[in-house]
Amino acid sequence: MIATVRAFLRGAVLILVVAACGCALQNERIVLLPSQDGHPAAVVVKQGDRQVVLDRPYSATQLTPADPWPYRASETEVSAGFGEALAAQPSRSVSFTLYFVEGSDELTEDSKRTLESVFADLRQRPVPDVLVVGHTDAVGSNAFNDDLARKRADAVKSMLVGRGVPAEDVVAIGRGKRELLVPTADGVAEPRNRRVEIVVR
């Protein structure tokens, strides 16, 4: 019998070592590791009529042909058994938000400083993969805002490429006023909606 796993994860890592074939489970383990951002996470492991809830860092379950049983893993055990696999994981994605002067593709002064944090993160990644999404507030037509959002995204892409990020590693798109960070009525000028979101993977 194969166990099923339902996970509720945000910034957490789940080590899952189960049988890849249809054979009986013997000594397979599932371990919930601490989340990097401190957010809680939980995993429900169900096998047959029994389930085990893993809801604390290093809570684990040993799968057997009959039933899963919970236990507490240790950092030493995880390092010894899975250290190489964990070290081979890609870096976690990180997001940045930059804001713009109304009606333009010019960054605010604060966002010009934030941009340096983006460059610092990119220097830590051997092969960065960057998504740049431009947004606007609700002032103006859809056509105007679609064009402005794309200009904002392209402007940020140009800044990244100018600092050495290969152009083919940066995707720039515009969403106009479709995805307001702060919901407003049409025609309302909201500074927090005039933004570009950068996701670095």
Domains of the chain: 4-87 (no CATH), 94-200 (3.30.1330.60)
Q: What is the mean pLDDT of the segment spanning 108-127?
A: 90
pLDDT in tens, 16-45: 544 333 344 456 788 888 876 667 778 888
Angle at 37 between CA 56 and CA 76, to 5 degrees: 50
0.85 exceeded by the pTM?
Answer: no
pLDDT above 70 as % of the chain: 83
pLDDT in tens, 159-176: 999 999 999 999 999 999
pLDDT band at 48; cut points 50, 70, 90: confident
pLDDT in tens, 85-111: 777 766 778 899 999 999 999 999 999
